[in-house]
Structure 1
Amino acid sequence: MSANADLISGREFYLRLIRKLSHRGVLPALIKLQRLSDSEQDSMGALLERRAAETPTQVGLRFEDEVYTWAEINEWSNRCAHALKAVGVGKGDVVAIFLTNRSAYIPVAMGALKLGAIGALVNTGLQGDVLANSLRRAAPKVLVVGEELLPSLRTIPETELPAQCFLAEEAGSTPLPAGFTSLTAATESAASTNLPETAAVSFGDPAFYVYTSGTTGMPKCAINKHRRLFMGGLFAGKALREIGPDDVIYCPLPMYHVTALMGGWFACLFTGATFALARGFSASNFWNDIRKHDATGFNYVGEMARYLWNQPPSPDDRNHRVTNMMGAGLRHEIWDDFKKRFGIDAVYEVYGGSESPAGFVNLFNFDRTCGWSPRGMRVAAWDHEKDDIVRDANGRGIALKPGGRGVLLQQISAHQQFDGYTDPEATQSKILHDVFKPGDRWFNSGDLVLNQGHGHIQFVDRLGDTFRWHAENVATTEVEGVINGFAGIEEAIVYGVEVPGMEGRAGMARLVVEDPTNFDLTGLARHMRAGLPDYAVPRFLRLTNSESDVTGTFRYKKSDLKDEGFRPSGGDRVVLVAPGSDPQDLTDDVEARIRSGEIRL
């Protein structure tokens, strides 16, 4: 688990910096980013109007077999805005958008922004209490729901819905629920002209509520202002990807995710590139869809790249025009091979787009990094037992040098703002005070990272996933990286489980394999012991041939696995890997010997 191999050298950093700044359009974009002000009268709706005026016949959006020019996108967005205005939506009102990926998502969202309203981008995988809570936190005046999500909406009481609800039809076979208005009918009769309200929207106005993942409780609404979206789209499109009208960016990610918004849609809006939106991600059809849309780049997140990597090699693996990919979560252990196999020149990994004061972006195309942030960040020592930063005798935090692993902190200042959440208490819980000097304020990312030097970080683990065993900290993502290198492992999820009478948490790994009853457990144990220190070797293996549950953004749901403990119910095979012993099935007798202390872990 050496960190030195992934440190950034000063020589290579400055060479790549000079090379990047020499590219046409990059330096002006970076200069413009420094001059954005909340008070400036500009917005994403106004940007769409300018794009439609400049390149009206250029294709801006593709979805399956549908094709729309920038002029058509703007007119459709205007019709949505007029329909929302007709039911009383104005500046500062919230429009909850509960739609799966389809072409209508863009004009609905942009229509709300043109009015100065706030789009609450609700996770389409939610139901029941979590869905009700998400709507409650946003307090929408209007809800736009797709007919495909009506079953999910019916899992919450009608009292949780706003007075005005639009049904966004697609197939058109669903009867209009009582009290709902047809979005199709409302927009067909609406005007397609630009609205005067758009000119009154400024960079400092909230644009979207983007929900956090909810890994530490119910999802929270992170406020994304027009300034933040403007910065994200400008940076991603012009400074990072350097795309233009000849490019097509393919996006299979859900539109409620910030990578789809900033790295995809708004990057295309800034540059005139075409945004090719997919209904969802399909590992088996991904490259066929890439070829269909003639994409030059795509967006990814979470385990998406691993699913592509696990597909059987094909002669068509390089039969495409893709040169770059942008997103978050590409595993370090497959990074180099993924690029080589699929012919990808640049991996633009990003970090912290939803809520942090400033994001990290792999602007200089280094390998195995979350990217670079030019200012206002520190990697601080973290006490895993106290669940707090380590402070010295003077009460100050300890900043770690390159090669150190700790919690990522980002300074909050007039130039680097934390817009927070709709819940003030949740906002304050993320802020640390008087860390390195009196009066300073820092955003606590909650993530364990490696300081790679020269403003770069490498993600190590979420603090909530890191666990202690034998007085040592175990980073689950690093253990997963080692296990995934063993033949026959399709996917590994590592987490900590409590064992009665023992301090800390023992490691457990859920392994997806083809045949759980006939797997080389001895070889796997040898492989783990060779690649990991003893304390990091999982003591329990849970073998299954069923795919793991993931979130809508392809992240594993570890909390459910932790709750099930080391002896889960169900038919999965569970194996004990005790120190110095061969793997053995976890029977009732073996469990009793663990609890009695006869078998030591």
Structure 2
Amino acid sequence: WVSWTLTCYSILLLYSRTRRTETFLLTMIAYILFTVLAVLPVLLFWKNPYIMSDLKFAMTVLHIGIKYSKITRKFYSILDCFMEKVSEHPQKTFLVFEGSSYTYSQADKESNKVARALLTHANLKEGDTVALFLGNEPYYVWTWLGLAKLGCVSSLLNYNIRSKSLIHCFSCCEAKVVITSAELCGAIEEVLPTLREQGIRVFVLSEKSDVEGIESLSDKIQQASDQPLSPQLRANVNLKSPMLYIYTSGTTGLPKAAVINHGKVWRASFLQYMIGVQSSDVIYLYLPLYHTAGFLMGFSGAIERGLTIVLRRKFSVSNFWADCRKDNVTVIQYIGEIMRYLCNTPKRDNDKDHKVRLAFGNGIRGDTWNDFLDRFGNIRICECYGATESNIGFVNYVGKVGAIGKEHFLHKRSYPYALIRYDTEKEEPVRDARGFCIEVPEGETGLLVSKIGEQTPFSGYAKNKQQTEKKKLKDVFVKGDLYFNSGDLLRINEGFVYFQDRIGDTFRWKGENVATTEVADHLLAVDFVEEANVYGVKVPGHEGRIGMAALKLKENMDFEAKSIYDHVKYFLPSYARPRFIRIQDSVAVTGTFKQLKVKLAEEGFNPNIIKDPLFFLDDSKGYIPMTKEIFDSILEGTLKL
């Protein structure tokens, strides 16, 4: 195109000299320039049909970069952002919950009361860690805001965990205080002796407590003043200070506490701005607040935007759209399973009667994506990718069905990453003769790694140096470089990023990460189990993988269905309980005694193929023999998992 333009210019210049007409020359030059400018966008669009979206995204990223640079120069926390919103619109509705609504001003005052009660009765100080063992409710929000005003770190516990896992979560973040609700108090009572030994004080959101060692908190909050607290209480907090501990499953078999500092909170909070959420939007938040998705992408992002939040305790497929209509919801979050649940409900005439314009989240399958749009109307779906502890994320800002993100030169410049060749049998990256990793060509699947640096830090896990180091890859492309190992296999094709699979000993089911080692440890505690190999298997029509265990029984002992069912029901949350159990004479291992999972996962739970004894977890009967009828019902979708 440039050569053609220069040729035309030369011809016209020669012609003008012969005619000696300066006016003619200027006119033709102007015409050529106008033609180039008119045709250039068409050519660019032909080469890249997403160019306008790319340019818009670039402007947004640059604006976020400017905002973040201001935060780094003069520290400004997400709490400061909340306080600014309180000042800007004190009477705007901040939270809607079960028929009650609270303004920004009311939320500020309620959190002041919580902060003062804890300051007086728990003797908290800046830097102390407090564990929140609560479900979604307004007091979760007030308590976190109150703790932030004291400069404390909040440890967000999964309210499904029990026993050993629960004690571990308190220990690894060194919590001095735990705050729970009356509904969850029973789980705390089970581990109370250990908590008292460790000097951890327990407060319950109740008017009174009859249990020795558990103190009431609601009465103390009601008696406290709602006046503002001095910023000096958090004077030493900065961008690198920890603000949260969010727990993620891993290969250790126990939850790992990812350290979330104030900088990472901001980076996650900017997601809503990045995808076009406006301050006038109303967001529907039903994902658990102990999750990164619920707390950072949803809740703190809503604070950054100054939104109204419609909070629900748990997801309800039957009430989802009714809630959206009742509260004029315009933005929803999702995980892949949620979208499938909504699509599987009986069709209604008013399916498209709502104000939802934007949905963002992760894990939606391509077929579900299309079904959702056909069923519920013109809703922009913005698929995202990231992990709690990760220093890299992607956003599918153009709405390409099936993609978890789109490459962008500004993004890659700010967050250097690569897909490298990975050996699934050896469970390690492939390295060349020089000892460096090999980047896969476009279109091939590779392990996502992201460079660790000043602007892309990896904070690791609290009190778990071994697992922190395990997530780091050294000497990846040059001697001395350092990369974060995402543990995810991705594929990039024509600029779009696609999720392929998850490596290691973790799989995802019902929106939760399940650590196979933790499940195996619980199974090994059953007296007749000698070895346990836990893995995830794919189920047609479902996102993620469902749990399955291959067991070797102790000599001269039989499989006792009721005993193992009672055990897993007590120790494991529902999503982590093995739905299928396979009894083997021996558990296959590699030469280095690593359990083989790939072949087992491929074989799945088909009784027509597997000759070993198979059992299925029926929610009402416990473990029962797996039959062809059960298998067919699962494939047909008539048996719900």
CA distance in 2, matches of 1:570, 1:283: 29
1:437 aligned residue: 478
Match of 2:364 among 330, 338, 345: 330
Q: CA deviation at 1:337?
A: 1.7
Percent identical: 30
Residue 425 in structure 1 maps to residue 466 in structure 2:
yes
Residue 116 in structure 1 maps to residue 151 in structure 2:
yes
Match of 1:505 among 588, 591, 599: 599
Residue 210 in structure 1 maps to residue 253 in structure 2:
no
CA distance in 1, matches of 2:336, 2:181: 25
The 8 Å contact of residues 26 and 239 in structure 1, kept in 2 or not, is answered as: yes
Matches within 5 A, 1:196-275: 196=231, 197-214=233-250, 216-233=252-269, 235-244=270-279, 246-275=280-309
1:318 aligned residue: 352
2:501 aligned residue: 461
The 8 Å contact of residues 543 and 574 in structure 1, kept in 2 or not, is answered as: no
Residue 382 in structure 1 maps to residue 422 in structure 2:
yes
Q: CA deviation at 1:50?
A: 1.0
Q: CA deviation at 1:569?
A: 5.1
Residue 11 in structure 1 maps to residue 48 in structure 2:
yes
Change (3 A) 1:490 1:384: closer
Residue 400 in structure 1 maps to residue 440 in structure 2:
yes
Amino acid at match of 2:367: E
CA distance in 1, matches of 2:129, 2:506: 37
Amino acid at match of 2:425: E
Match of 2:377 among 323, 328, 343: 343
Q: CA deviation at 1:153?
A: 1.3
Q: CA deviation at 1:107?
A: 1.0
Please report the TM-score for the alignment, with normalisation by the length of structure 1. Answer: 0.77
Secondary structure of 2:168 counterpart: helix
Change (3 A) 1:344 1:445: farther
The 8 Å contact of residues 492 and 510 in structure 1, kept in 2 or not, is answered as: no
The 8 Å contact of residues 299 and 326 in structure 1, kept in 2 or not, is answered as: yes
The 8 Å contact of residues 209 and 216 in structure 2, kept in 1 or not, is answered as: no
Between 1:537-546 and 1:339-348, the stretch displaced more is: 537-546
Residue 158 in structure 1 maps to residue 193 in structure 2:
yes
CA distance in 2, matches of 1:269, 1:275: 9
The 8 Å contact of residues 285 and 312 in structure 2, kept in 1 or not, is answered as: yes
Secondary structure of 1:458 counterpart: strand
2:624 aligned residue: 570
CA displacement 1:222-267 (0-9 Å, x = unmatched): 011111112211x2232213221x2110011110011111221112
CA distance in 2, matches of 1:304, 1:508: 27
Structure with the bigger RCO (C-alpha within 8 Å, sep 6+) is 1
Secondary structure of 2:132 counterpart: strand
The 8 Å contact of residues 40 and 202 in structure 1, kept in 2 or not, is answered as: no
CA distance in 2, matches of 1:262, 1:334: 25
The 8 Å contact of residues 327 and 349 in structure 1, kept in 2 or not, is answered as: yes
Residue 95 in structure 1 maps to residue 140 in structure 2:
no
Amino acid at match of 1:366: K
CA distance in 1, matches of 2:613, 2:304: 48
1:411 aligned residue: 451
Amino acid at match of 1:208: L
Amino acid at match of 2:180: V
Q: CA deviation at 1:133?
A: 1.0
CA displacement 1:363-408 (0-9 Å, x = unmatched): 3332212224612111111011111000011111011122110211
CA distance in 2, matches of 1:115, 1:261: 19
Change (3 A) 1:79 1:490: closer
Secondary structure of 1:104 counterpart: helix
1:129 aligned residue: 164
The 8 Å contact of residues 224 and 355 in structure 1, kept in 2 or not, is answered as: yes
CA distance in 1, matches of 2:610, 2:375: 31
Residue 138 in structure 1 maps to residue 169 in structure 2:
no
Between 1:94-103 and 1:444-453, the stretch displaced more is: 444-453
The 8 Å contact of residues 615 and 624 in structure 2, kept in 1 or not, is answered as: no
The 8 Å contact of residues 391 and 398 in structure 1, kept in 2 or not, is answered as: yes
The 8 Å contact of residues 496 and 508 in structure 1, kept in 2 or not, is answered as: no
Q: CA deviation at 1:157?
A: 4.2
CA displacement 1:406-455 (0-9 Å, x = unmatched): 2111110111111111122221111010011111101111111112353x
Q: CA deviation at 1:35?
A: 5.6
Between 1:438-447 and 1:343-352, the stretch displaced more is: 343-352
Q: CA deviation at 1:360?
A: 2.0
Secondary structure of 1:266 counterpart: helix
CA distance in 1, matches of 2:627, 2:333: 36
Larger Rg: 2
CA displacement 1:104-130 (0-9 Å, x = unmatched): 100111111122211000000011111
Change (3 A) 1:95 1:541: same
CA displacement 1:50-105 (0-9 Å, x = unmatched): 11111100001111111011111111112212222222212211000000111110
Change (3 A) 1:402 1:538: farther
Q: CA deviation at 1:313?
A: 1.6
Amino acid at match of 2:445: R
Secondary structure of 2:48 counterpart: helix
Q: CA deviation at 1:165?
A: 1.8
Change (3 A) 1:308 1:378: same
Equivalences, count:
505
Change (3 A) 1:575 1:540: farther
Between 1:101-110 and 1:152-161, the stretch displaced more is: 152-161
Amino acid at match of 1:12: P
Amino acid at match of 1:570: I
Secondary structure of 2:425 counterpart: coil
Q: CA deviation at 1:194?
A: 3.1
Between 1:537-546 and 1:110-119, the stretch displaced more is: 537-546
The 8 Å contact of residues 46 and 199 in structure 1, kept in 2 or not, is answered as: no
The 8 Å contact of residues 510 and 541 in structure 1, kept in 2 or not, is answered as: no
Secondary structure of 1:303 counterpart: helix
CA displacement 1:479-503 (0-9 Å, x = unmatched): 64xx32xxxx999848796876988
The 8 Å contact of residues 435 and 442 in structure 1, kept in 2 or not, is answered as: yes
1:471 aligned residue: none
Amino acid at match of 1:95: V
Amino acid at match of 1:201: V
The 8 Å contact of residues 430 and 443 in structure 1, kept in 2 or not, is answered as: yes
Change (3 A) 1:400 1:221: same
CA distance in 2, matches of 1:377, 1:254: 30
2:13 aligned residue: none
